[in-house]
């Protein structure tokens, strides 16, 4: 291999471009082990799943057999990265003791399933503070620490930047950095962020008019080393609207330019990019959009 590189250098050829890491959230209907093939079918090389029904508290236990079947399917699929997204019911910042206890238990179960499945990351929204923002941040960080402490795993926790609807935490880079800083140091190493383009845009960061400025701000506050995944979604909701409405790329308020920039941004080249937008009949939107993103990357 070394010889090949030397020969290429001698001819001043650029190194071959690695395939961009693009994929989508895929269904686990019929069994979690069926998800990797669905990702392959739409042309993905990275994927995201739910490990349970996200709007129910029921916590399915993944059997050793199911986990083994999933791991084998994932290996066979050639996926480069696999993440889960946690349940929508979990609120780790809640002032309501019963809800918070239930949320922590559910979150621990999420981490355990990710560990059993050998997933690279668990993506989780910061909670809703309900009463007081500072106290909510403290509760959220404590709950994260409790769960990470309970489940030693190589699955990285990725806190997702939010649109800022209602009392949800984590819609500004500063607040997200502050939340992560509150997690005790040894556990903090296992925490990163997920950058959802639709949320960040709705939260008021102008990826259309000031792409470089937004990422400079991200680098200064959170830092690229924390960036574990990008949710690459257009937004139906306008800039600063604080509404979480995903749209197919090219059909929303952001246009295609920020996505072309992301696909050509060397800082983001090895960050997995996942679609969470309406799939269309037979996943046609996903197939088309992944093709478009790969075309952007090809220049």
Q: CB nearer to Zn ion: give 116 or 202.
A: 202
- Structure token digits, residue 299: 């220049």
Q: Which of 274, 275, 276 has the alpha carbon at shortest distance from 120?
A: 274
CB of 97 to Zn ion, least distance (A): 25
Q: CB nearer to Zn ion: give 137 or 158.
A: 158
CB of 125 to Zn ion, least distance (A): 5
CB of 85 to Zn ion, least distance (A): 6
Q: CB nearer to Zn ion: give 73 or 161.
A: 161
Binding site for Zn ion (CB under 5 A): 160, 196, 231, 276
Q: Which of 124, 121, 133, 129 has the alpha carbon at shortest distance from 100?
A: 129
Q: CB nearer to Zn ion: give 110 or 196.
A: 196
Q: CB nearer to Zn ion: give 265 or 276.
A: 276
Q: CB nearer to Zn ion: give 123 or 137.
A: 123
CB of 296 to Zn ion, least distance (A): 20
Q: CB nearer to Zn ion: give 109 or 159.
A: 159
Assign 3-class secondary structure to the chain: CHHHHHHHHHCCCCCCCCCCCEEEECCCCCCHHHHHHHHHHCCCCEEEECCCCCCCCCCCCCCHHHHHHHHHHHHHHCCCEEEEECCCCCCCCCCCHHHHHHHHHHHHHHHHHHHHHCCCEEEECCCECCCCHHHHHHHHHHHHHHHHHHCCCCCEEEEECCCCCCCECCCCHHHHHHHHHHCCHHHHCCEEEEEEHHHHHHCCCCCCCCHHHHHHHHHHHCCHHHEEEEECCEECCCCCCCCCCEECCCCCCCCCHHHHHHHCCHHHCCCCEEECCCCCHHHHHHHHHHHHHHHHHHC
Q: Which residues of 11-37 are buried (b: 16+ CB within 10 A; e: fewer)?
A: eeeeeeeeebbbbbbbebeeebbebbe
CB of 48 to Zn ion, least distance (A): 9
CB of 169 to Zn ion, least distance (A): 13
CB of 1 to Zn ion, least distance (A): 38
Q: CB nearer to Zn ion: give 73 or 125.
A: 125
CB of 63 to Zn ion, least distance (A): 27
């Amino acid at each position: 291999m070394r010889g090949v590189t030397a020969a290429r250098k001698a001819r001043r050829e650029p190194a071959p471009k690695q395939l961009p890491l693009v994929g989508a959230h895929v269904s686990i209907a019929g069994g979690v082990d069926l998800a990797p093939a669905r990702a392959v079918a739409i042309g993905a090389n990275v994927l995201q799943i739910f490990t349970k029904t996200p709007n129910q508290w029921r916590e399915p236990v993944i059997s050793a057999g199911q986990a083994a079947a999933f791991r084998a399917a994932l290996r066979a699929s050639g996926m480069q990265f696999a993440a889960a997204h946690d349940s929508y019911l979990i609120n780790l910042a809640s002032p309501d003791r019963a809800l918070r206890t239930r949320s922590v238990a559910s979150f621990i179960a999420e981490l355990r399933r990710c560990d059993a499945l050998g997933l690279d990351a668990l993506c989780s929204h910061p909670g809703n503070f309900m009463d007081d923002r500072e106290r909510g941040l403290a509760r959220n960080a404590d709950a994260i620490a409790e769960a990470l402490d309970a489940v030693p795993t190589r699955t990285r926790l990725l806190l997702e930047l939010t649109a800022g609807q209602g009392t949800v935490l984590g819609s500004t880079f500063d607040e997200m950095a502050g939340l992560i800083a509150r997690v005790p140091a040894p556990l903090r190493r296992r925490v990163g962020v997920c950058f959802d383009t639709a949320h960040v845009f709705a939260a008021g960061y102008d990826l259309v008019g000031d792409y470089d400025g937004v990422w400079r701000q991200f680098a200064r506050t959170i830092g690229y080393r924390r960036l574990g995944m990008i949710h690459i979604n257009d937004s139906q909701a306008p800039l600063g609207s604080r509404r979480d409405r995903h749209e197919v790329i090219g059909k929303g308020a952001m246009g295609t330019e920020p996505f072309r920039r992301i696909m050509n941004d060397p800082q983001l080249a090895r960050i997995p990019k996942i679609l969470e937008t309406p799939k269309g009949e037979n996943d046609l939107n996903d197939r088309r959009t992944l093709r478009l993103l790969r075309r952007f990357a090809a220049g």
